[in-house]
Amino acid sequence: MDTILRWHNPPPSHTYDQSRDVHTIRATPSSGFWRTTTERRDTGNFFHQPGVRGNFRVQCFIKGTWVHEYDQAGLMVRVVEGEEGGKNERWIKTGIELMGRVQYVR
């Protein structure tokens, strides 16, 4: 299995402190992932491990400076069967999002 993490839409800034196993990411402004029946946004920064199959477990700690409405960070599982962006692409995400100056867990 491929164990190298890759970027889908790399951010403007990303550093990794190996001694603490900490990634620091400054996200692209006004980017995100969402869908409606007529629109699609797929501009968010997504650091992922391709090729995962079967059951898996993930654990993380999210710390951020949420300033602007809808600032968010979290985890996403993305399943692509066939061509990326096609009808067989599905995803689910969870995390923290700023709405009305309150941080919500989604």
Q: Specify if 1 maps to a domain.
A: no
Quote the domain boundaries for residue 49: 6-105
- Note the pLDDT of residue 1: 41
Rounded distance, CA 7 to CA 98, Å?
A: 24
Model confidence over 37-49: pLDDT tens digits?
Answer: 888 889 999 999 9
What SS3 state is found at 101?
Answer: coil
Task: Report residue 73 CA to chain centroid gap.
Answer: 7
End-to-end CA distance of the chain: 30
Contact 89, 81 (CB under 8 A): yes
Q: Specify if 50 maps to a domain.
A: yes
Q: Specify if 74 maps to a domain.
A: yes
Model confidence over 60-83: pLDDT tens digits?
Answer: 889 888 899 999 999 999 887 766
Question: What average pLDDT does range 96-105 have in this prediction?
Answer: 92
Give which of 35, 93, 100 is closest to 71, Cα–Cα: 100
Domain count, the chain: 1
